[in-house]
Amino acid sequence: MSHQSTKRQSKLEIKAHRRLLPRKVVSEAERPKNEMEIPHLSKMIQKHGTACDLSRLSYTEKRRKRFERVTETLRRNEHEFIKRAISRKEKEERERKRLRALHRPQQDTQSFISDLINGIIEFFCCKTLI
C-alpha cells in the first residue's frame, strides 16, 4: 500500500463524504412520487447523517475544520436551492394572478362601455321628452 499525503487523503475522505450527503432537498427527478416514500427518504437521510457524524470522530482537528467548511458550503447551496424553488413558485403564482387580472378588465371594460352607451341613450331619450 502506497503512502498518501495527509492533505490528499483528507480530500479523498471529504469527497467520499460528499457522495454520502444528500445532493439536494428536492429536485424534479428526486421528488417523491407519493407520500408513502417520504418517511423512507427521511430515514435514509438520517442514516447518512449519523454515518458522517461517526466518521468525523476519527478526524484530526484540521480535517474536522475542513469538513465543516465543506458541510457549510453544502448547506448554503441547499438553502440557495430552496430559496430559488420558493421564488420560482411565488413568481409563477404572481404570473397566474397577473394573467387573471388581465382577463378580468376586458370583461369590465365591455360592461362599462355598454353601461355608458345605455346611460347616454337614456339621457338623450329623457331630454327629448322634456
**pLDDT digit string, tens, across residues 26-84:** 555 555 555 555 666 677 777 777 777 766 677 778 877 887 888 888 888 888 888 88
Quick check: is 49 in a domain?
yes
Question: Residue 77 falls within a domain, yes or no?
Answer: yes
pTM for this predicted structure:
0.36
Cell of 47: 442514516
Range of the domain at 27: 8-101
> What percent of the chain has a predicted confidence (pLDDT) above 90?
4
Looking at the domain assignment, is residue 62 inside a domain? yes
- pLDDT tier, 13 (very low <50, low <70, confident <90, very high otherwise): confident
Cβ-count burial 110-127 (b if 16+ within 10 Å, e if not): eeeeeeeeeeeeeeeeee
pLDDT at 1: 47
C-alpha cell at 96: 397566474
Total number of domains in the chain:
1
Within a domain: 110: no
How far, CA to CA in Å, does 70 sit from each of 17, 24, 114, 125? 10, 15, 66, 82
Q: Is the pLDDT of residue 92 over 80?
A: yes
